Amino acid sequence: MSASAEAAVRDEVRAWLNDHWDPNAGLVEWRTQLVDSGWGAPDWPTDWHGRGLSAALTRVVEREFARCGAVGVATGGIRLLAAATLLEHGSAAQKAQFLRRILTGEDVWCQLFSEPGSGSDLAGALTRAAFDGQRWTVNGQKVWTTSAHHAHWGLLLARTDWDAPKHQGLSYFVIDMRQPGVEVRPLKQMNGHASFNQVFFNDAEVKAEHLVGQLGQGWKVAMTTLAHERRRADGLRSGRADVEAPPRQGTIYAEEAQESATALAPYKWYPQRAGRVDLALPRAVASGRIRDPAVRQELARLLIVSSTAEWTARRARAAQRHGQTQGPEGSLGKLAASHVARLAARVHTMIAGVDALLAGEDGPENGLIAEILLSVPAVSIAGGTDEIQRNIIAERVLGLPKEPRFDQGPFRDVATNRGPH
């Protein structure tokens, strides 16, 4: 990136913000202006609400937004996974219908992949979609669906061909979550939160034009969604530059705070899921356990592994900035995050001893350590288990032979733990 290109983008976005930014504007009203200008998603294509800028120049834009305290487009929840998938595989009509409202935050999305009988075998999905010549009819069940209870739209992977091999008989849809035939039931977790839902489909309908990509190519489309999800799960978040921002005074901030509280509510236990490495050293020092050589050894190991995982993620970000497409590095990052979380739980337990099991005000950090221990196992499951990530790394990074398969041929002949198809 040349200094002149950076200066040109900085001057242009700064001038636009000086002319348009109003902290007392309505949130959707402001974001509509952002979408029209292309500054809300500057790395998106110019045909679809962006400016086609590189990742490096996008960070220049982010710094200018941070400098004046301007609110950006909506990014919470599954929205960006939906946007990334539609940008790569969606039709022009789908992009026109959905992308703008994703950026303005008017629509909430959820991801309908996992099923009770399939586990990490995503290609074993049994939810059916049948076409009658005009529309698709969906029957089946999904689980672990974040935000389904208030979503407008869902990203649905469903089986459309029972005579094709399992990976080739899947198709990818956008489904209306607020129609008859869609029932959402919350799931209570052992850590006390209720972030996920079961979703039941009983003759729910999908318009013919809401098939994403080609019929039978749902696996390929789903891999795009999961690649972006794993990138977000690698433990490193790219934020705005550390610049001094003005006070957040104005009605738009109140609206954004309310939106964020709703969007982020299902994710408030995610820092505990990641292990809260940041608490380990201060707690070891405060409790005096830092004097125990075994604790020091495990604590040093945790900090080394955590830093290594962060550097690996940064290398992946650098490759992305240089135009390289998302590859198996998302699996490397996610697997590293699982190792870090489990090691962090071990260190917290060594520091707190049996008190680590105490919840509520009686427990260490008002029960936060107990919540960490209950939440950490989830990081090895969500977005594809550690075993799935190891398979991806073995095959796509190390070039090892694929594992033996016993589920070839027509899917209707493949044995499952849910009985005959």
3-state secondary structure of 170: strand
Contacting residues for 159 by C-beta, under 8 A, at least 6 apart: 125, 126, 127, 128, 129, 169, 170, 171, 411
What Cα–Cα distance (Å) separates residue 16 from each residue in 7, 104, 396? 14, 18, 44
| Beta-ladder partners of 184 | 199
Residue 107's nearest CA partner among 99, 115, 116 is 99
Cα 275 to its chain centre, rounded Å, is: 18
Active-site residue identified among 62, 64, 205, 229: 229
User: Which H or E run includes 283?
Assistant: helix 280-287
Distance, C-alpha 273 to centroid of its chain: 14
Contacts 24+ apart (CB under 8 A), 33-40: 34/72, 34/73, 34/103, 35/73, 35/100, 35/103, 35/104, 39/13, 40/72, 40/73, 40/103
Contacts of 105 (CB under 8 A, 6+ apart): 27, 28, 31, 73, 74, 76, 79, 259
Tell me which DSSP letter residue 2 carries: -
As a whole number of Å, the end-to-end CA separation of the chain is 55
Q: Which two tokens stand for residue 403?
A: 């594992």
Q: What is the rounded CA–CA span in Å between residue 417 and residue 119? A: 11
Catalytic annotation present for 229: yes
Q: What is the DSSP string of 86-154?
A: HHHH--HHHHHHHHHHHHHT---EEEE---TTTTT-GGG---EEEE-SSEEEEEEEE-S-TTGGG-SEE
Find the angle CA(132)-CA(136)-CA(140) to the nearest 5 degrees: 120
In single-letter form, the type of residue at position 136 comes to W
Q: Which residues are identified as catalytic?
A: 229
